[in-house]
Amino acid sequence: MKKLHVELGDRSYPIYIGPNLIGQPDLFRRHISSSQILVVTDETVGLLYLQHVVEQLAEYQVSTIVLPVGEVYKNLATVGQLFDQLIEARFSRNATIIALGGGVIGDTAGFAAACYQRGIAFLQVPTTLLSQVDSSVGGKTGVNHPQGKNMIGAFYQPRCVIADTSVLDTLADRELSAGLAEVIKYGLIRDADFFCWLEQNIQLLKGRDADALAYAIEISCLTKANIVSEDETEAGIRAILNLGHTFGHAIEAGMGYGSYLHGEAVAIGMCQAADLSRRLGFLSDGDVDRIISLLSSAGLPVAPPESLLASKFLELMAIDKKNIDGNIRFILLETIGQAKLPCSVDLNLLDETLNEYGRI
């Protein structure tokens, strides 16, 4: 087992990475300070792992809730259900929520933990590659608004992240690829060497080679932990983690939450961001080709949905969280391995990217 550390003063916490971690009750116990626990999961993960996790927690008063699967349920109504259950069970301010699932479960359960009685403890137990390398680390919790992704939420750090690499064995191929999109993101924004390593090892990763996956998760979490430690609430550098997300969130909201996986939408968005970076004179044609090629090899879509027109993109991106006073701002790439802070761009070039990149 590897142990990384997210340094945030009195909100610091460890990330455990390794095989068979959800079978180790000691890991859980270390971060639970009361008898009351609510385990939040979804139907897919619940069938596979809920009983196993609950068995580790035999000495606690455990309540469970199994949510339907999908981004479409990451909303305020679901958070309301979690509040109902917490109150119904008479859970105190020292109770603990365990989020057992992918990003939707972690974000939703984490936001409920942030708000129930103004904040109770929570543990992230991410079960998808995407949540292990990205959403479970860093304390961004929240839910979607029908008109905008993650528009309602809180910065609220977990007590620990338990990333069990064995559970990835049961992950659908499509979900594995979606996770690889965020892994590739770390190479693009901050680590050219890692990007090269990914180019060389993408087939091993797709083939679920345990060592390759463990290495990719570790490097990804390390990069994320470092960036979050530098800038917890995204006043500056943390924004580069949103490479591709401005376009990606528009795809998710515009096509209906759940029709594209988050990682798929981000993959397309990163290609659009690369194309826009090229038009602004930062990336070469060759750089953009390498990026598209790696994402494509990872099994990801690289062209925007045909039905999502440029005008709709613009409308949806007008409510992105990085905007200031209504101006759309983007994370762009200086080079492969180095992202720029959010900036506004020439609207003509943006139009070109939206109308030309990936359009037939």
What mask, x for binding a copy of itself by CB under 8 A, covers residues 101 to 140?
-------------xxxxxx--------------------x
As measured in angstroms, the least distance from the Cβ of 197 to a copy of itself is 33
Closest CA to 250 of 273, 266, 238: 266
Tokens of 309: 């027109």
Residues in contact with 323: Cβ distance below 8 Å, sequence separation at least 6, in sequence order: 317, 329
Q: How far is the CB of 233 from a copy of itself (least distance, A)?
A: 7
Catalytic-role residue among 74, 262, 278, 329: 262
Task: In whole angstroms, give the CA distance from residue 150 to residue 153.
Answer: 7
Site for a copy of itself in 33-52 (CB under 8 A): 34-36
Count CB neighbours of 229 within 10 A. 16
Catalytic residue among 71, 175, 182, 252: 182
- Residue 60: both structure tokens together: 């606690």
Write the binding mask 221 to 260 for a copy of itself: x where contact by CB under 8 A, - elsewhere. ------------x---------------------------
Q: Which is nearer to a copy of itself, 234 or 275 (CB)?
A: 234
Q: How far is the CB of 86 from a copy of itself (least distance, A)?
A: 8
C-alpha to C-alpha distance for 157 and 139, rounded to whole angstroms: 4
What is the smallest separation between the CB atom of 80 and a copy of itself, expressed in angstroms? 6
- CA–CA dist 85, 8 (Å, integer): 31
52 is catalytic: no
CB 92 within 8 A of CB 37: no
145 flagged as catalytic: no
Q: Which of 69, 319, 345, 349 binds a copy of itself (CB under 8 A)?
A: 319
Active site residue 245: yes
Token pair of 123 as six digits: 């543990």
Chain residues 62-81 in contact with a copy of itself, contact rule CB under 8 A:
76, 80
Closer to a copy of itself by CB, 18 or 138: give it: 138
Contact 241, 224 (CB under 8 A): yes
Cα separation values, 137 from 71, 103, 209, 227, Å: 19, 10, 23, 11
Q: Known catalytic residues?
A: 118, 140, 182, 224, 234, 238, 242, 245, 249, 262
